[in-house]
């Protein structure tokens, strides 16, 4: 039997998430299987994997709620004369990036957030792109700037991102915003970790004093998740490819966050009974299915709550981009 968390609202949610032939990919960077995640995640309860003992956390429904909250905030801001705006820069014609950008701009449309689309040919030069970012930095209608990665070969994405005004860095990837997160004064936090925290909140998982094992230490997911959990007084073990004896660490975890990009890495019987399991990984198997990093069927027998893939963390990523853009518009 499936127990769903959160309720549906009027605004439609779209999933997102990535993966290629068993190797996980970052959805803010590449969009290889976004459209597949969108369709495979489905829209209703019957689309979720069947649950055993654990509660299945329905990321799609929670994302719908987040979007509804965003729509209300946009309406209130518009009444106060503020029209939140997001600039989206897409260079080249990578089909996956196009799908991902389309999902973002649709989400903006759904909540009434204005987006300024800059679709540029792959022949665009670094200096042309930097001049665009400078213009967007100076444009008061633009509260958030999102540069879709990867950029075509020959362009320097690090140099371009570094040029973005940190107050408009709604992806939370600039050193200033990373530093603020770790120093306990966060401004923008990357969208996927925000989604992870929202899922933990919806699960009702106690964080203070809990032992959280985060597997994966990327700047986009693992590290910011660890920072957010520490800020909530969890005791965090951050694991990576050099970690010794991952199974025994996971066995001691009240909370497991898997963000690696390896299907089946986390075995079901590693999970401590009653733990909460958040599976960030998105991997495409040779048979075409999308799966996470956790053996869902095995883990759900022991977990108190667990996210499915697709339909867990993925749908919250775009929803949290809206949240960050609204924060940028209000300076909060």
Binding site for ligand NAP (CB under 6 A): 16-19, 24-27, 192, 215-218, 220-222, 239-243, 246, 259-262, 265, 280-283, 313-314, 317
45 is catalytic: no
| Radius of gyration over every alpha carbon of the chain, rounded to an integer in angstroms | 19
Which CB, 229 or 313, lies closer to ligand NAP? Answer: 313
Break the chain down into helix, strand, coil percent, rounded to 5: 40, 15, 45
Which CB, 85 or 195, lies closer to ligand NAP? Answer: 195
Compute the distance between CA of residue 186 and CA of residue 180 in angstroms, rounded to an integer.
5
Shortest approach of ligand NAP to residue 24 CB, angstroms?
2
Distance from chain centroid for Cα 193:
6
Q: Is residue 321 within 8 Å of 146, Cβ to Cβ?
A: yes
Task: For residue 190, count other CB atoms closer than 10 A to its CB.
Answer: 30
Q: Which helix (H) or strand (E) holds 147?
A: strand 144-147
Burial class (CB within 10 angstroms; exposed 0-12, middle 13-18, buried 19+) of 82? middle
Shortest approach of ligand NAP to residue 40 CB, angstroms?
13
Residue from 129, 121, 115 nearest 160 by CA = 129
Which CB, 33 or 129, lies closer to ligand NAP? Answer: 33
Shortest approach of ligand NAP to residue 263 CB, angstroms?
9
Alpha helices in 183-292 (DSSP H): 191-203, 222-231, 246-251
Compute the distance between CA of residue 324 and CA of residue 151 in angstroms, rounded to an integer.
22
Q: From the candidates 58, 171, 254, 295, which is the catalytic residue?
A: 171
Q: From the candidates 40, 58, 104, 279, which is the catalytic residue?
A: 104
Q: Is residue 298 within 8 Å of 306, Cβ to Cβ?
A: no
The closest residue (CB) to ligand NAP is: 24
Shortest approach of ligand NAP to residue 196 CB, angstroms?
9
Which CB, 142 or 238, lies closer to ligand NAP? Answer: 238
295 is catalytic: no
59: helix, coil or strand? helix
Which CB, 19 or 85, lies closer to ligand NAP? Answer: 19
Q: Is residue 320 within 8 Å of 198, Cβ to Cβ?
A: yes
Check residue 18 and give left, alpha or beta (phi > 0: left; psi -120 to 50: alpha): beta
Task: Quote the tokens at residue 212.
Answer: 């959280």
Which CB, 16 or 171, lies closer to ligand NAP? Answer: 16
Shortest approach of ligand NAP to residue 72 CB, angstroms?
24
Q: From the candidates 58, 148, 168, 254, which is the catalytic residue?
A: 148
Shortest approach of ligand NAP to residue 135 CB, angstroms?
29
Which residues, 6 or more positions from 242, have their beta carbon under 8 angstroms from its beta carbon?
Answer: none
Q: Which residues belong to the active site? A: 104, 148, 171
């Amino acid at each position: 039997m499936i127990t769903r968390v959160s309720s549906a609202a009027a605004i439609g949610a779209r999933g997102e998430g990535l993966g290629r032939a068993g190797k996980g990919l970052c959805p803010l960077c590449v969009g290889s299987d976004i459209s597949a995640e969108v369709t495979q995640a489905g829209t209703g309860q019957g689309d979720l994997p069947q649950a055993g003992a654990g509660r299945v956390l329905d990321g799609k429904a929670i994302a719908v709620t987040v979007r509804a909250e965003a729509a209300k905030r946009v309406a209130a801001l518009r009444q106060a004369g503020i029209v939140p705006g997001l600039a989206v820069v897409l260079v080249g014609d990578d089909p996956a990036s196009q799908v991902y950008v389309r999902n973002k701009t649709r989400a903006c449309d759904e909540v009434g957030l204005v987006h300024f689309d800059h679709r540029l040919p792959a022949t665009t030069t670094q200096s042309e792109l930097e001049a665009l970012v400078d213009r967007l930095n100076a444009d008061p209608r633009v509260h958030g700037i999102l540069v879709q990665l990867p950029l075509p070969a020959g362009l320097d994405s690090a140099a371009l991102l570094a040029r973005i005004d940190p107050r408009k860095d709604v992806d939370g990837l600039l050193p200033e915003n990373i530093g603020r997160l770790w120093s306990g004064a966060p401004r923008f936090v990357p969208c996927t970790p925000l989604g992870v925290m929202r899922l933990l909140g919806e699960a009702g998982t106690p964080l203070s004093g809990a032992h959280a094992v985060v597997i994966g230490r990327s700047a986009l997911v693992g590290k910011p998740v660890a920072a957010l959990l520490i800020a909530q007084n969890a005791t965090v073990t951050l694991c990576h490819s050099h970690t010794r004896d991952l199974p025994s660490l996971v066995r001691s975890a009240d909370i497991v966050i898997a963000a690696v990009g390896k299907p089946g890495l986390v075995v079901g019987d590693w999970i401590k009974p009653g733990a909460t399991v958040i599976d960030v990984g998105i991997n495409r198997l040779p048979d075409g299915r999308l799966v996470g990093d956790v053996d869902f069927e095995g883990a759900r027998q022991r977990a108190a709550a667990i996210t499915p893939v697709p339909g867990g963390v993925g749908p919250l990523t775009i929803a949290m981009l809206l949240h960050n853009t609204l924060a940028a518009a209000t300076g909060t």
